[in-house]
Amino acid sequence: MSGDFIISTLKKIIDISIVWAMFYFILKNIRNNVKMTLLFKGIIIILLIKLISSWFNLTTIGLILEYIIMWGPLALIIIFQPEIRNALEQLGRTQLLGRHKTLTIGERENLVYEVVQAIDYLKKTRIGALIIIERDVSLREYIDKAKPIYAQISSELLISIFFPHNPLHDGGIIIQGDKITCAGAVFPTSVDLKIGKRLGTRHRAALGISEESDCIALIVSEETGRISIAINGELSYNLTIEDARDILLEELKPKTELFPEEDSDEDESEIKEGDNNE
């Protein structure tokens, strides 16, 4: 009898764990994708209106919402087929112990230093650039279509990639960990109507990829030399070098880190000392 009880309890624990893992994966992908977030909000609003119509016996709106709820899932599958495909591909690539290694303090410091040095030069010489730093959400879909590099990150390499007349300078580069994975990557442009007309293709591409993932997208304007950073569909425009450095240091921090305040202070002071010594 006790053996049956233990087996039954284990089955319930496994069942609940699988359901929890499914909800966690779905909510994580919704949080990291602006389009999916808006879709989720729309579904919640429709369900709330349906409940209100049922409480107050609103026949017409209730009937319309019933048809929407009945045929909505099929319409969503057709409309959001690319997003659903990407989510399933990401699930297939997910490893239980993590996809990418966690950068050490030294590696993170070097990454920020090299990127900042590169965008500082590109800013002064008004050379356009688009640099994408991958985080938790995989960008494999865009890496597979770009020119593979997989080289140790350095400011000299970054500058040379975006130098005029270089065949790869028109696209963006993707950084994974402390490596430049590829160059010449093409990203979807944002369709947000609120974007100002003054923003060019690089800014729209940076916003587009930041809407679909949790990456950090750095842009250097070819016309003005201004530095911008797009994260989660939000664009920080016309940043100083110090602003860009601070944002990178903050956004690249591990989610869990021992003594985070001390490490952060050390990172900033060491990078600033390196800049002052030049």
In order of 188, 190, 259, the CA distances from 82 in angstroms are 12, 15, 41
What does DSSP assign to residue 189? P
User: With 60 as the cut, is the pLDDT of residue 146 above it?
Assistant: yes
Same domain assignment for residues 121 and 241: yes
Highest mean pLDDT among 29-38, 44-53, 203-212: 203-212
Average pLDDT, the chain: 81
CA distance 277 to 31: 41
Measured in whole angstroms, the distance separating CA 242 from the mean position of its chain's CA atoms is 22
Measured in whole angstroms, the distance separating CA 39 from the mean position of its chain's CA atoms is 18
Report the pLDDT value the prediction gives residue 43, as an integer from 0 to 100: 82
Same domain assignment for residues 7 and 129: no
Query: Which of 69, 93, 117 is the last residue before a domain boundary?
Result: 93
Mean pLDDT throughout 236-258? 86
Mean pLDDT throughout 165-194? 88
Query: Which of 68, 93, 118 is the last residue before a domain boundary?
Result: 93
Report the pLDDT value the prediction gives residue 273, as an integer from 0 to 100: 47
Same domain assignment for residues 16 and 111: no
Same domain assignment for residues 82 and 161: no
Same domain assignment for residues 179 and 79: no
| pLDDT top residue among 156 and 198 | 156
Report the 10 Å Cβ neighbour count for 18: 10
User: With 70 as the cut, is the pLDDT of residue 272 above it?
Assistant: no
Give the residue numbers spanning the domain of 39: 2-93
Query: Which of 53, 69, 93 is the last residue before a domain boundary?
Result: 93
Same domain assignment for residues 270 and 148: yes
Same domain assignment for residues 14 and 88: yes
Sorting pLDDT into bands at 50, 70 and 90, what band is 90?
low
User: With 80 as the cut, is the pLDDT of residue 236 above it?
Assistant: yes
| pLDDT top residue among 19 and 272 | 19
Report the pLDDT value the prediction gives residue 96, as an integer from 0 to 100: 39
| pLDDT top residue among 29 and 137 | 137
Same domain assignment for residues 198 and 218: yes
Whether residue 126 lies inside any domain: the answer is yes
Sorting pLDDT into bands at 50, 70 and 90, what band is 277?
very low
Strand ranges, E, within 61-139: 129-133
Residue among 149, 161, 113, 136 nearest 216 (CA): 136
CA distance 186 to 202: 10
Same domain assignment for residues 201 and 257: yes
User: With 70 as the cut, is the pLDDT of residue 15 above it?
Assistant: yes
User: With 70 as the cut, is the pLDDT of residue 262 above it?
Assistant: no
Report the 10 Å Cβ neighbour count for 6: 10
CA distance 169 to 118: 14
Determine the residue type at 270. Answer: E
Report the pLDDT value the prediction gives residue 261, as an integer from 0 to 100: 44
Phi, psi of 96 (to 5 degrees): -65, -30
Model pTM?
0.64
User: With 70 as the cut, is the pLDDT of residue 77 above it?
Assistant: yes
Sorting pLDDT into bands at 50, 70 and 90, what band is 254?
confident
Same domain assignment for residues 147 and 41: no
* Helix, strand and coil percent figures for the chain, each rounded to 5: 55, 15, 30
First to last CA, the chain: 76
Whether residue 8 lies inside any domain: the answer is yes
Same domain assignment for residues 148 and 242: yes
CA distance 57 to 229: 49
What does DSSP assign to residue 57? T
Determine the residue type at 242. Answer: E
Residues 6+ apart with CB under 8 A from 61: 49, 53
Report the 10 Å Cβ neighbour count for 22: 11
Same domain assignment for residues 153 and 234: yes
Report the pLDDT value the prediction gives residue 258, as an integer from 0 to 100: 40
When divided into structural domains, the chain yields a total of 2
Mean pLDDT throughout 168-197? 87
**Residue 259's CATH number:** 3.40.1700.10
